[in-house]
Amino acid sequence: MLNIALPVLYKDGTVLENTYQAVPEDAVLPQGDVVLTTAQLELLPQVQAKKALYLTVNDSPENHQYPLDQLDTIFIEFAGFNDGRGYSFAALLRRQGFQGELRAIGDVFKDVLNYMKRSGFDSFVIKEGKDIVEAAAGLSDFTHPYQASTAVQQAHYQTGASA
């Protein structure tokens, strides 16, 4: 699991501290908000605060049934810049009805934020070593995209803007 303790950039440009904690190897649930891996899903009923799931490139929502109605947040890992599965995962989860927060983590930086936001992501953990304030400018790089967006309902086919 990547460093989830880094600050979180939200799609409106605000930056907040992360509140989620990973479950340690001894499997004792921490107090407060908890993020579980897919292998730890059996612990979900024991979490008393906010519940999150951490998806890696091997955890496609196309091949697994996740308890979406019990989750507040889903972390989607971007293993590398050239791996676009995280975008597909976000679109699949939204189509499956997930209404909670989608958080991009991993190889996340300024140049990809606008695309991630258009794919349905609500928040982003910027790659360690990158400036989060500088990265936030990437959220508004494009005001009129050429492609229709999967996250915008009834998008205009040329600009992606809502009808």
Compute the distance between CA of residue 126 and CA of residue 162 in angstroms, rounded to an integer.
28
List Cα–Cα distances, 21 to 75, 108, 132, in angstroms.
12, 20, 21
Tell me the sheet residues that pair with 55.
Answer: 76
Contact 29, 46 (CB under 8 A): yes
- Cα-only R_g, the chain: 16
Mean pLDDT of 120-146: 83
Task: Report residue 160 CA to chain centroid gap.
Answer: 21
The mean pLDDT value of the chain amounts to 87
pLDDT of 61 higher than 90 = yes
Residue range 73-104, pLDDT digits in tens? 999 999 987 888 999 999 999 999 999 999 99
> How big is the CA angle at 123 (ends 154 and 2), to the nearest 5 degrees?
135
Asked whether the predicted pLDDT for residue 151 surpasses 80, the reply is: no
% of the chain with per-residue pLDDT over 70: 86
CATH class of segment(s) 8-140: alpha beta
